[in-house]
A and B are shown apart, each in its own frame.
Chain A
Amino acid sequence: AQSVTQLGSHVSVSEGALVLLRCNYSSSVPPYLFWYVQYPNQGLQLLLKYTSAATLVKGINGFEAEFKKSETSFHLTKPSAHMSDAAEYFCAVSSSNTGKLIFGQGTTLQVKP
């Protein structure tokens, strides 16, 4: 069975500071990993994806994530936070045979001026 754990339900950073959102996964097959962002009262928007190509994945809005098999992690980073980054972030894992996404519990990112 696959699962995702996001460490920290709430992360607060100052504007301009490094953003680090943690995600660990469990999968018995090679995983496909995703980060989604949800702004208030909106749907989920795909930030980036890992599908067994390069382990360092670049996404939209300056975000990137690194797949580390040895640590079963897929942490999301952004060098400099912007006020508009405040949102809910979800890490998700998918298997090729079903396509369904298993989501982590989400991390709320707060950006302070």
Chain B
Amino acid sequence: DTAVSQTPKYLVTQMGNDKSIKCEQNLGHDTMYWYKQDSKKFLKIMFSYNNKELIINETVPNRFSPKSPDKAHLNLHINSLELGDSAVYFCASSPNDAYEQYFGPGTRLTVT
């Protein structure tokens, strides 16, 4: 049973397209996150939701929009994709009474 799952695992698309990445966790956690890992493997937080409410919104272009239909899901929609958006995107979740986060397998986005 996968705790934090993401779809798709690989995503190849052209500049200017709009794409979505889905994330689901079956751990019963209240908080979910999106991180971006660049080509140098540096990880940076993008967004955080707690029980469907946005609580962290780092300096991310408006083209990125997270959506949380319920506390088990946090999707990431990206408009007008650019070459610089190519990266691995990780979803994570954590319970309210602990600070560690559990990560999904990642989605490798390649923009051509």
Contacts and interface: CB of A to CB of B under 8 A. Distances in A.
Interface of B (DSSP majority class): strand
A103 B48 contact: no
B66 interface: no
A99 B100 CA distance: 9
B105 A88 contact: no
Given A43-B104, A101-B101, A88 B48 contact: no
Nearest to A102: B45
Contact of B99 (A32, A90, A103): A32
B41 A49 contact: no
B6 to A, nearest CB: 8
A11 to B, nearest CB: 15
A105 B103 CA distance: 17
Interface residues on B, range: 20 to 34
Interface of A (DSSP majority class): strand
B44 interface: yes
Contacts of B64: none
Contacts of A61: none
A42 B43 CA distance: 14
Nearest to B101: A101
A94 B48 CA distance: 13
B106 A49 contact: no
Contact of B33 (A100, A105, A106): A100
Given A88-B41, A100-B56, A45 B48 contact: no
A40 to B, nearest CB: 11
Interface string B46-84: 001000000110000000000000000000000000000
B99 A46 contact: no
A106 B103 contact: no
Interface of B: 4, 31, 33, 35, 40-45, 48, 55-56, 90, 92, 94, 98-106
Give the 8 A-B CB pairs with smallest separation, nearest first. A43-B103, A44-B103, A103-B43, A43-B105, A32-B99, A100-B45, A106-B41, A49-B100
Interface of A: 32, 34, 36, 38, 41-46, 49, 51, 88, 90, 94, 96, 98-103, 105-106
